[in-house]
Structure 1
Amino acid sequence: MTRHRPLGLVAAAVLATALVTGCAGQPAEPDPTAAPGPAQSGAQSTGRPSGSPSPSVASPSPSADPSPTNPGRPSPTPTETAAPPNEAPAPGEPDLSLVAGWSLEEKVGQLVMVGLPVKGPFQPTFDMVRDDHIGGVFLHGRTQAGRQPVKNLVDAAVDAAAQEREPLFVATDQEGGQVQVLRGQGFSDIPSAVDQARLDPAELRARATTWGQELAAAGVNLNLSPVMDLVPAGSAAANAPIGAFGRSYGFTPDSVTAHANAFAAGQRAAGVQTSIKHFPGLGRVTANTDTTAGVTDTETGPDAPSVGVFRSGIEAGTGLVMMSSAVYTRIDPDAPAVFSPTAVGLVRELGFDGVIISDDLSAAVQVTGIPAGQRAVRAVDAGVDLVLASAKPAVAGDMVAALVAAARDDDAFAAKVDAAAARVVAAKAGL
């Protein structure tokens, strides 16, 4: 594959000051990727930085998460491959020939998406992209700096990945309202989902196409949007992760499906892939999985209206589906959905054969009682294809090491890695 080699890391580092200035003086906003909002009362608290940090960015502190695996970078295993199938894959099955001849480390790298702070170049992320074959970055935080500094930062990440077999997923959260990572010249101020739902779907699709074109011009090819969580009417204020921040496309299945699908169609028309979230729905919880442990939904089951909403998004053509990290007692009372084969399997039962991505597993309080490496292993073992480590990218190294170790030790797990890598590579075909 011919690679475009844009602005290098040194040039990107010069832009750190402009990006930081763009963020200065802004009020605190909710963290992107999952569920924003203040810590809930009664919340229970239940990495490895790679390489040397850029001189313009402070080095992150080492991860406090214990890891049962060797945190060091695994030795290459260039002969480990996914055997090419003898015939075309069955409908819905991944095409393993896409990763035939790849090393285990190359395949594992495709399963991890690492946070890249938008305030400026972050050398540990660039090092992981280059050395651990990382397949995706997530632009994390908030910036008012506008398109060009963001594009330069993206170009630096793409340059770090230039020797890889596949293009880099460059993702962000550009929902609108309080969850909009990129602002400034070249980016529209996008209204909240509640306000978007007041538009005619055709008008919303046209606007979303423009918003997608703005992302594409900055080098972003994946928007972890739209939110398809179904919030019951009258309960928005009590729904900390979604309703309280106006992130729902109305309060009925018809409103959510019509408007969320219109938003997604506009983004994809601009060449930006979408991820609907947070399956099977965060509309009925009262606490925030980012800031609270033990978040549980006791009402949503496999046949719930919220699941039907996601079915609509799948049928409309989304490329990715994001899993919630809440526990759903009527689906699997024993594990957060992102770690539950039953919950993840329900996505496949809806006919989805694309990429299933986790919510952030690097810093969400809901899951930090589990060592970082094992969060990644449990997610992939449950059927997740792409592990998001956005808020605390330093732990991504532990995740990579744990995934490699688990695949070396267990052939069944190695087969899951092969399948997940093949799905991710297939999803990148149009990039």
Structure 2
Amino acid sequence: MRVAAVALAAVALAGCTSTKTGTGTESPQAPSSTRPTSTSVRPPSSTPATTTPATSSSASRTSPPLLPPAERIFSAMTLRQRVGQLLMVDCPTSGPTGATQQAITQYHVGSVILDGTSYAGSNEIAAVARQVQGLAPKGVPLLVSTDQEGGIVQRLQGPGFTRIPAATEQGTVAPSTLRRRTQDWAAELRRAGVTVDLAPVLDVVPAGFGANPPVGDLQREYGNTPAAVTSHGVAVVRGLAAAGVAATVKHFPGLGRVRGNTDVSGGVTDTVTTSGDAFLQPFRAAIDAGVPFVMMSTADYSHLDPGVPAAFSYRIVTGLLRSQLGFGGVVISDDIGNAAQVANYSPGERAVRFVAAGGDVVLTVVAGQAQEMTAALVNRARSDPAFRRLVNASALRVLRAKQALGLLH
């Protein structure tokens, strides 16, 4: 769970026709099936449409079908560029550091998280967003995200940003009211250049549970029952989508029944959650509502995959989230750059383990780790065809999310 760390239900805008040309030497390979995790992509044809008047021999000739922008851009990308789409790195709300700039321009990183609370207001954040977008390759903008939950977890404040109440207070109003308010809050984000909100929190902290450092102690829960969290969490997902901001539900499969915060403590373990647990209902409902992003917890879950952080668990990411709950969108990690829970793994191993488990976007609040993480992912993809297929599927999934947000023009 990132304290310091958005659904857009398939909002694809028409008229996107841009392409991106790869500059490396790797031969592009598209995913090999039509399933969400491995989608067949055909490279664009260079044959021009015929202008010959139709005759008996040419009447059946037609122009080759145009690929959607995501597929077209993906087909032109090198392996390194595809791997870059699998990373989200830190960008301070005050502006990109040298490490952030290098991650984008040299390692092709495709997403950033605006981190650190800013009181400068919307105009300043919009300027920062424009600055980082100016570093991205033409035609392939970044996903710009932040934590805008409410309460003490509201990274963007000041003029142009409404002060959002904590989730515990949001949970006291009718879901329809919360949806309308969220749409207004999300419109502020979109005007400032933010396209992904790393919210809402769908973890359920039972009444009387006691200390719960990552969620309950910080008033990040909408209620104390799966029903309450479901109704209000889905309202937030829909409100964000209505304003053109992608929601990220978190922290799957839940941090509401743990005693430690994975950001600052190791060995955090959930000893109760099962694959049929009622506390998974908020995530199931959000998936049914079309949420585009799900964030993985890094806690261990003794009844699901003992001793393996959820973000690194094939059983949890692919088995439970994708197969059992049917999620076909983008799976993003909680921070694995600076979290104590995963400190025993090298940065490169963290990235490889997450993607191998079925994840798509590696989130690190240490932008300087981009070099090691991308190198590890590229090397594994070059040596392991099955892993390369996972990389291809994830890169395409991220590009489709960008297309749905209207970013690919």
Question: What's the TM-score, normalizing by structure 1?
Answer: 0.80
Native 8 Å contact 1:224 1:274 kept in 2: yes
Choose the corresponding residue for 1:319, options 276, 283, 292.
292
For the residue of structure 1 that corresponds to 2:341, the secondary structure is coil
Deviations 1:301-329 (A, max 9, x none): 10111222210111111100000000001
- How far, CA to CA, are the matches of 1:124 and 1:389 in structure 2? 12
Are positions 1:145 and 2:89 aligned together?
Answer: no
Native 8 Å contact 1:239 1:285 kept in 2: yes
Corresponding residue of 1:347: 321
Q: Give matches, 1:57-206, under 5 Å.
A: 77-83=24-30, 85=32, 89-90=34-35, 92-97=36-41, 98=71, 99-163=74-138, 165-206=139-180
Corresponding residue of 2:353: 378
- How far, CA to CA, are the matches of 2:395 and 2:141 in structure 1? 13
Instruction: In structure 2, list runs of 5 or more residues that go unmatched.
Output: 6-22, 42-70
Change (3 A) 1:84 1:367: closer
Corresponding residue of 2:62: none
Instruction: In structure 1, list runs of 5 or more residues that go unmatched.
Output: 1-29, 34-75
Give the letter aligned to residue 81 of structure 2: E
For the residue of structure 1 that corresponds to 2:390, the secondary structure is helix
Give the letter aligned to residue 4 of structure 2: P
- Aligned-residue sequence identity (percent) comes to 44
Superposition deviation, residue 101 in structure 1: 3.5
- How far, CA to CA, are the matches of 2:37 and 2:3 in structure 1? 35
- How far, CA to CA, are the matches of 1:101 and 1:169 in structure 2? 19
Superposition deviation, residue 32 in structure 1: 1.6
Native 8 Å contact 2:143 2:195 kept in 1: yes
Corresponding residue of 1:57: none
Native 8 Å contact 2:250 2:295 kept in 1: yes
Superposition deviation, residue 332 in structure 1: 0.1
Choose the corresponding residue for 1:417, options 372, 391, 403.
391
Superposition deviation, residue 81 in structure 1: 1.3
For the residue of structure 1 that corresponds to 2:247, the secondary structure is strand
Choose the corresponding residue for 2:223, options 245, 250, 253.
250
Q: Provide the aligned length of Structure 1 versus Structure 2.
A: 355
Superposition deviation, residue 131 in structure 1: 1.7
Superposition deviation, residue 116 in structure 1: 0.1
Deviations 1:207-258 (A, max 9, x none): 00000000001000000100000111122x4111000110001011111011
Change (3 A) 1:84 1:101: farther
- How far, CA to CA, are the matches of 1:312 and 1:244 in structure 2? 25
Corresponding residue of 2:373: 399
- How far, CA to CA, are the matches of 2:172 and 2:316 in structure 1? 32
Choose the corresponding residue for 2:248, options 270, 275, 279.
275
Question: What's the TM-score, normalizing by structure 2?
Answer: 0.84
- How far, CA to CA, are the matches of 2:97 and 2:106 in structure 1? 15
- How far, CA to CA, are the matches of 1:96 and 1:161 in structure 2? 26
